[in-house]
Homo-oligomer: A and B are copies of this chain.
Amino acid sequence: MGSTQGRRPPVMADVAKEAGVSHQTVSRVLNEHPNVRSETRARVQEAIDKLGYRRNLVARALVTKHSRTLGVVSFDTTLYGPASTVYGIEQAARAAGYFVSIVSLKSIDKLGVNDALDYLTDQGVDGIVVVAPQRSAAQALAELPFGVPTVAVEGGEAGEASVVCVDQVEGGRLATEHLLSLGHETVWQIRGPSDWLEAEGRVAGWRAALKQAGRPAPEPLTGDWSPRSGYEAGRSLASMKDVTAVFVANDQMALGVLRAFTEQGVRVPDQVSVVGFDDIPESEFFSPPLTTIRQDFGAVGRHSIEVLLRQIEGQGSHERERLVVPPSLIPRASTARR
């Protein structure tokens, strides 16, 4: 119908002709410029509707230098934590009118992070969120490409970038103090890999709480966050008679620990109390339901977008921000008074 020939999608000029105005006026309508007569505006809108016009965002991005796309770099989005964080990021970004382009890393080396950063800046993203829980990833942020605003999630001291994170130290402290308050002499720990900042933070909080209470800190066992590694550490712990309380650095490993204890006939919480970390949806239904530390991943994702947008929109003032989200204790049935 009309003069629009072929199947080529209509462009601004087509709308302009249809409405009997210049393409610039169409642009003004689209961008809600105030100086357009409301009658003209209506006529243009009508033409837009009639032709089914949609503005070409690529052309727009070329001239405005803003793609309204944010990049997200994350490690293994299959895991609950990263997945929830990325979800929060995506929701917040879209609510703010931004697209989200994602890169999931399988390995976490500096090279991989740098590649991902380059890749995204090539695409012309307006800003980047790096979910970088490993020390190596965080270090990669120290040398940013050029002027692309960046926010690190769980990024420790991430060089130039702003940081949004959960207070891991506080989480470790909460878990440990909870166990001590139940009358346990001391608290053992199954920690995460040493490359992970979160693991370090949780160890620090645990150590601090023990020290404050004047209790000895046993040598922590180390897992790799997987249920299997928790299972193996749990088997070691089961054979040690003086263990009455264990702080496991994440819920998945805690599941492995519960499994090992069950197999070895160690009753939880009667003989040993166990606290996890993360509060994954499953942990409420472990046997027994797991006392754990909740991290509000959604809040972390939302905050990271807030910080990033502030940085993008407030051009000059790029003061580094550091936003810390508090964790909370979720008491359930895996812990009991000694």
B287 touches A262 (CB 8 A): yes
* A104: B residues at CB distance < 8 A: 87, 90-91
A62-B62, A101-B99 known; A54+B122 contact, CB < 8 A: yes
Our pick among B9, B76, B83 for the contact of A77 (Cβ within 8 Å) is B83
Nearest B residue (CB) for A254 = B285
Write out the residue numbers on chain B whose beta carbons fall within 8 Å of the beta carbon of A231: 285
Check B227–A285 contact: CB distance below 8 A: yes
Q: A238-264 vs B: 1/0 string, CB under 8 Å? A: 000000000000001001101100100
Residue A323 is within 8 A (CB to CB) of chain B in the complex: no
Contacts of A100 in B (CB 8 A): 101-103
Which of chain B's residues has its CB closest to A256's CB? Answer: B285
A94 to B146, CA, bound (A): 23
Given A58-B124, A62-B59, A87-B77, verify A69-B101 contact (CB < 8 Å).
yes
Closest to A54 in B: B122
A292 at the A/B interface (Cβ < 8 Å)? no
Q: Mark A1-27, 1 if CB is under 8 A from B, else 0.
A: 000000101000000000000000000
A78 & B69 in contact (Cβ 8 Å cutoff):
no
Q: Report how far A230 CA is from B76 CA in the complex, Å.
A: 28
Write the nearest CB–CB distance from A330 to chain B, whole angstroms: 15
The residues in A between 275 and 312 inclusive whose CB is less than 8 angstroms from any CB of B are 281-282, 284-287, 289
> Distance in Å from the Cβ of A127 to the closest Cβ of chain B?
15
Bound CA–CA A289/B258 (angstroms): 12
25 contacts between A and B (CB under 8 A): A7-B147, A9-B146, A54-B118, A54-B121, A58-B61, A58-B62, A62-B62, A78-B83, A78-B87, A83-B83, A90-B102, A90-B104, A94-B103, A100-B102, A100-B103, A227-B282, A228-B285, A231-B285, A252-B282, A258-B287, A259-B285, A259-B286, A259-B287, A262-B287, A282-B282
